[in-house]
């Protein structure tokens, strides 16, 4: 096989890889890619991956702080939808 036989569409593979990640993984991957690009990286990655700039910045911040979270947790404690007890009569 010749080197020309291997043609990759990096954008397609990047988007597929991105779609397989958890929320945290997506944020951190986007943050890492934006750091590689340097100036205007957040805007570029935000447009390329179709996510909000704040999400990219949050991922970048998480990487810079190197905060460790439990492996089996996707959301922080207390995250997600709050329970609504109004329909059960419990106050």
Alpha helices in the chain (DSSP H): 10-19, 23-37, 41-49, 53-65
Q: In 3-state terms, what secondary structure has residue 25?
A: helix
| Number of Cα atoms under 13 Å in the Cβ half of residue 82 | 3
Instruction: Using the predicted structure, report yes or no on whether residue 91 has a pLDDT greater than 60.
Output: no
Please say whether the beta carbons of 44 and 37 come within 8 A: yes
pLDDT digits (tens, 9 = 90+) for 9-33: 777 888 888 889 988 889 999 999 9
Q: Percent of the chain beyond pLDDT 70?
A: 71
In the structure encoding, which two tokens stand for residue 47, read together?
A: 């447009």
Instruction: Using the predicted structure, report yes or no on whether residue 4 has a pLDDT greater than 80.
Output: no
Q: What is the structure's pLDDT at 10?
A: 78
- Higher-scoring residue by pLDDT: 57, 88: 57
pLDDT digits (tens, 9 = 90+) for 28-44: 999 999 999 989 999 99
CA distances, 6 to each of 1, 9, 12, 48 (Å):
9, 10, 15, 24
Q: What is the structure's pLDDT at 56?
A: 94
Please say whether the beta carbons of 24 and 69 come within 8 A: yes
* pLDDT (mean) for 55-63: 92
Q: What is the structure's pLDDT at 33?
A: 92
């Amino acid at each position: 096989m010749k080197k020309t036989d291997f043609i990759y569409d990096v954008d397609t593979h990047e988007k597929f890889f991105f779609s397989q990640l958890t929320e945290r993984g997506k944020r951190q991957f986007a943050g890492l890619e934006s750091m590689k690009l340097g100036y205007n990286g957040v805007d570029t990655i935000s447009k390329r991956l179709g996510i909000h700039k704040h999400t990219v910045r949050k991922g970048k911040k998480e990487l810079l702080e190197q905060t460790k979270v439990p492996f089996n947790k996707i959301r922080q404690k207390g995250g997600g939808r709050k329970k609504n007890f109004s329909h059960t009569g419990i106050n």
